[in-house]
A and B are shown apart, each in its own frame.
Chain A
């Protein structure tokens, strides 16, 4: 069975639809110069009262949309159940300054259906059969047959061992896990006292996979759309640069090549476009060098008693959710993760070195980057973060069609390996290849994992000594960044497009301007 977030991937569901309608509605609202006092009219541009298409009734839709709007404005959630109007203080968001604050990922309780957390249940397929292996294999005698009918599981006794699920000849017993919790690789989602999903923000690493896994679209991240729109509409000097993450290729449709995307960004007001693959090149060189230094400093085998097996590895640092997971769940490995800035920050630095006052917007598939850019030490470099989906809303609201726009010249100075960062295995592969070809290393053992559950399993194996590696790549999203929650196209076409664009790079290995 594929992971929960893979089952709906690539489908344009009503959950996708309402999310995008909110983004486009907000963008049109801001572009039209509407004021905070007009905010109560905005939901009616998005939903049609009297014709509920997402929920049981229009009033519930209205309540949910108001809260989605609030989050998309970048403001902390206010719920009507707090006896406060959801639009309270919305005026604060009408600015070109940063208003975003933690937590990034939020449960909209009005939208949450309070799914059972984790339950083994007997479905109607049960034939109340003569053999009834379910109750025979149950180690805690939790299964009975009231009135000789279908099997019933006593939830107080059930230990979810899954034996009955496997034994049933009719496959009538199933385990129902709340999709948001199943998607969460760090077990941060539980139920609050009323049964609503609740995110433990001390555990959450902002990967955002729950936001695209909830079949009721009840979990949403905040956006910086409104503040970025104010910059794009403002005076020329305050307009931001766009940094495109390596996974951007193909995201805006098969007829929107990189040059068309660059042209679109310039058309909506961005001052310039750079690819983050450039910053990836900086990181590749830095980590390859560190790997070489580590190998040189390594004492001969057996000379370092007491060191945990596998503890010598170097961990990649580009995925903030992976880094947070490794540091939180395996504090003993905290020192193994490279202390380097991410490609996003490295690229932003390149711009700010030349123009310290420039504003920089990172555009990617990633929700964790929104949290990363809130960190005090990184704030001077990256001003805002936007997802591909949020950017597409601006194109749509501004009526910019990338399939027919005259392409602009795309700055092509990143390496093939840097452009490959978007796909799982690409980061570790780039570092290992660079270490071998530029620093003369040989036989680097690379271990890699995507999805946080798999990352944690790999770290556990490294801890126990079941696995060992010189270099460890971790990626929170399935398949790497191309599988991120803010993407617009499927995993396979995205991988193909990234591969083609990497093959077209002017060079394979990263190089430095000082070389």
Chain B
């Protein structure tokens, strides 16, 4: 299984709104850490709308604005489930 790529904006607006705290929180989550790859990324320019939509987190191409630990974990779980949903087919093909 591929690790889910979680990109957390650590531009100044997003840091001020808790971007670095989000990374710290995710890194401390031992149930989650094996499934994800966390990366602090540069300001995604217009996404945060001058900080009004900060912090911004991108998971599997989807941008989450005003991200909270709750909304980020929910999105990661969705991405993990989507990967698992894709697995049985591959296994069947392998078994055959």
Cβ–Cβ < 8 Å partners of B42 in chain A: 255, 403-404
Asked if B21 is at the interface (CB within 8 A of a chain A CB), the reply is yes
- Return the CB mask of A154-170 against B: 1 if under 8 Å, else 0: 00000000000000000
Asked if A12 is at the interface (CB within 8 A of a chain B CB), the reply is yes
- A interface bracket (residues with beta carbon within 8 Å of B): 20 to 34
Contact B16 A392 (CB under 8 A): yes
Contact A392 B24 (CB under 8 A): no
Contact B12 A10 (CB under 8 A): no
Give the docked Cα–Cα distance between A401 and B17 (Å). Answer: 13
Cβ–Cβ < 8 Å partners of B41 in chain A: 255
Q: Can you name the residue of chain A whose Cβ is closest to the Cβ of B39?
A: A254
Cβ–Cβ < 8 Å partners of A401 in chain B: 11-13, 43
In B18-54, which residues have CB < 8 Å from any A CB?
18-22, 24-25, 40-43, 50-51
Contact A253:B19 (CB < 8 A) given known A400-B12, A401-B13: yes
Give the docked Cα–Cα distance between A404 and B13 (Å). Answer: 12
Give the distance to chain B from A31, nearest Cβ to Cβ, in Å.
13
Interface segment among A132-140, A302-310, A486-494: the answer is A486-494
Give the distance to chain B from A500, nearest Cβ to Cβ, in Å.
16
Give the docked Cα–Cα distance between A402 and B10 (Å). Answer: 9
Asked if B15 is at the interface (CB within 8 A of a chain A CB), the reply is yes
Q: Can you name the residue of chain B whose Cβ is closest to the Cβ of A489?
A: B20
Give the docked Cα–Cα distance between A225 and B54 (Å). Answer: 22
Contact B40 A254 (CB under 8 A): yes
Contact A252 B12 (CB under 8 A): yes
Cβ–Cβ < 8 Å partners of A396 in chain B: 12-13, 16, 51
- Return the CB mask of A229-254 against B: 1 if under 8 Å, else 0: 00000000000000000000000111
- For the complex of A and B, list the 5 residue pairs with the smallest distance between their C-beta atoms, beginning with the closest: A12-B18, A253-B10, A253-B15, A12-B21, A403-B11
Listed A/B pairs (30) with beta-carbon separation below 8 Å: A11-B21, A12-B21, A252-B12, A253-B10, A253-B11, A253-B14, A253-B15, A253-B19, A253-B40, A254-B20, A255-B10, A255-B40, A255-B42, A256-B10, A256-B12, A256-B15, A392-B12, A396-B16, A401-B11, A401-B43, A402-B11, A403-B12, A403-B42, A404-B43, A488-B15, A488-B16, A489-B20, A489-B24, A490-B20, A493-B20
